[in-house]
Amino acid sequence: MSGPPRDASAGRMFAEKLQLIFIILGRDLRQVHRNGLARLLVFSILFIIIFSVLFGFAGSLIQEIGTPSWTGDILAGDGPGGVEPVTLDLEADVYIGHAPLTVTVTPTVHDAEGAVKSKWYVAMGAERRVASPAAGPFEWTFNDPFMHSIALEVEDDRGAASDIETLQFNVMEPGSDWVQSVLLAGETEGPSPLEVQFAVYAAAGVPPYSYAWDFGDGTTSRAQFPVHTFEGTGEEFTVTVEVSDHNGSSTGPMEQNVRLTEEEEGELGVTLLDFVYGFAVTTCILLVPMAFGAVYASEIKKGTIRTLRCYPVGPLDITVAKLLFALIIGFVFAFITFMLPVGGVDKPTGDYMVVFMTAFGVTFVTMVIGALSALALARVTGKMWFRPYGLALGAVLLAYLFTERMMGLAGTLLSFVSNVDPDYFVDTFGFLISISPYHIGGQMLTAYFGGIDEFSPAMFIMPFLLIVAAGYLSMKVYPNVFEKE
């Protein structure tokens, strides 16, 4: 008489193991007061107090300077109320021509919310006046020959206002046939390195035209629309361009000054996302492994694992039960500890949830890799070199250490006492940084909040392969390895 099918037997064994895992988990949850609850409460309350003060201070500071974007410098706000700035670009259909010259200027507004209020200015010689409050393209006719300008500023429903953007127009004498031009430039003041888009438009004379640029730093160009990057600190460059027509007639040199400023005061090179994500990671690193270690150590202390040979459950099943305990209890304590202090910074609750869930998920996955790796190492060597909760903690600490921010900080500190490049550790451990779960989590969040253009799912391959390999080896670990520590 044949026995039950092999697949059915294996399925029944798996179901029994799963049932036992949940029985152990239920017992641990009922006895949570014996599994490190007091320690978790103490550290959670301590974290809540300390970080409530820090986030309260940060919230007060941000109320003064404005709430930055998630991926912008933490001190780069836009005034009271936390309003991020509105920016705009202007483009005209023509920049030079004989009088009367009719021009149409089209604005493009960025980062505005709700309805946009516009205020157009027209400058004719020394006279400047408000010309129109209309949104959208603006048309104006210049009747007098001169260098004129049209400017625009906008404000959205939040009260966020743009800087005034200006375009220059060269209105020529009627019938003039001497070649003339107008010089346009983008940003002409800012910190180094400053990239500036230039343009020059010509009229009259005998086309085609040639262009001779001198950027004042030893470089030149023959393009009509050159882009040039200026470098230095506190320097000012005089940019000149001369336009010649086919007959060799020239406009003479036209000038535009470009000034490089000091680095903006208050720039830290640290984003709000760095600050909040760092807090979420720190909370999870402390509380989630603590919950795992306390419940696992309690099981070992009771001797349960060493007497499991008579039960259909082994170290892997015990480890899974303890990881599930840490998933539940660690999540509860870490979530409360994280969410209470961050209310001091005015950002949507949903954004904070995304940051926390990423930090918690990365921490838990790293713990799983560490815990299973301890069992896999025991399977290969026949000896328990590291207990699962010890290697789980070590894994999250190493993953946190090998992040770009931590390696950059270590390099910066070392550069103060020795002749070492601040980026030494970042360059040296670049591969380890690239596979660090916390680094991957940070890139995911940066992509989510718009700081980078794309995120590659291939980053998940290494953690996935580690879990699969360590889990497979862990299935053959028996309780007697704890007697060979």
Phi/psi at 185 (5° precision): -140, 150
Residue 246's CATH number: 2.60.40.10
Q: Do the Cβ atoms of 168 and 95 come closer than 8 Å?
A: yes
pLDDT > 90? residue 205: no
150 and 178 fall within a common domain: yes
pLDDT tens per residue, range 448-478: 876 554 556 666 777 788 888 877 777 766 5
pLDDT score, position 24: 82
Structural domain boundaries, residue 366: 10-67+268-484
Q: In three state form, how does the secondary structure of 208-233 look?
A: CCEEEEECCCCCEECCCCCEEEECCC
In a domain, 185, yes or no: yes
Q: In three state form, how does the secondary structure of 229-246 look?
A: EECCCCCEEEEEEEEECC
Closest to 178 measured CA to CA, from 239, 128, 244:
244
pLDDT > 90? residue 1: no
| Domain final residue pick, 229, 261, 293 | 261
pLDDT score, position 82: 42
| Nearest-angstrom CA–CA distance, 79 and 62 | 8
Query: What H or E segment, with its residue span, contains residue 256?
Result: strand 254-261
351 and 479 fall within a common domain: yes
| Domain final residue pick, 218, 239, 261 | 261
Question: What residues are paired with 354 via a beta bridge?
Answer: none
Query: Using the 8-state DSSP alphabet, how is residue 308 labeled?
Result: G
Q: Do the Cβ atoms of 125 and 51 come closer than 8 Å?
A: no
Question: What residues are paired with 132 via a beta bridge?
Answer: 120
In a domain, 80, yes or no: no
Q: Is the pTM of this model over 0.75?
A: no
In a domain, 75, yes or no: no
133 and 250 fall within a common domain: yes
pLDDT > 80? residue 150: yes
- Which token pair is 243? 């336009």
- Which token pair is 141? 């006719």
In a domain, 447, yes or no: yes
337 and 398 fall within a common domain: yes
- Which token pair is 64? 């003064």
Number of domains in the chain: 2
In a domain, 77, yes or no: no
In a domain, 398, yes or no: yes
469 and 373 fall within a common domain: yes
393 and 281 fall within a common domain: yes
| Nearest-angstrom CA–CA distance, 342 and 329 | 21
Closest to 330 measured CA to CA, from 303, 296, 300:
296
324 and 419 fall within a common domain: yes
pLDDT score, position 94: 93
411 and 340 fall within a common domain: yes
159 and 53 fall within a common domain: no
Phi/psi at 118 (5° precision): -115, 150
243 and 185 fall within a common domain: yes
SS3 26: helix
| Domain final residue pick, 231, 261, 291 | 261
First to last CA, the chain: 45
252 and 276 fall within a common domain: no
Q: What is the mean pLDDT of the segment spanning 91-103?
A: 92
Cβ neighbour number for residue 310 with a 10 Å cutoff? 6
Give me the sign of the Cα torsion angle 460, 294, 22, 320: positive
Cβ neighbour number for residue 467 with a 10 Å cutoff? 15
In a domain, 78, yes or no: no
Closest to 367 measured CA to CA, from 347, 387, 352, 348:
387
pLDDT score, position 327: 93
183 and 252 fall within a common domain: yes
pLDDT score, position 453: 47
Q: pLDDT confidence of 403, banded at 50, 70, 90?
A: confident
In a domain, 256, yes or no: yes
Give me the sign of the Cα torsion angle 227, 71, 156, 163: negative
| Nearest-angstrom CA–CA distance, 352 and 335 | 10
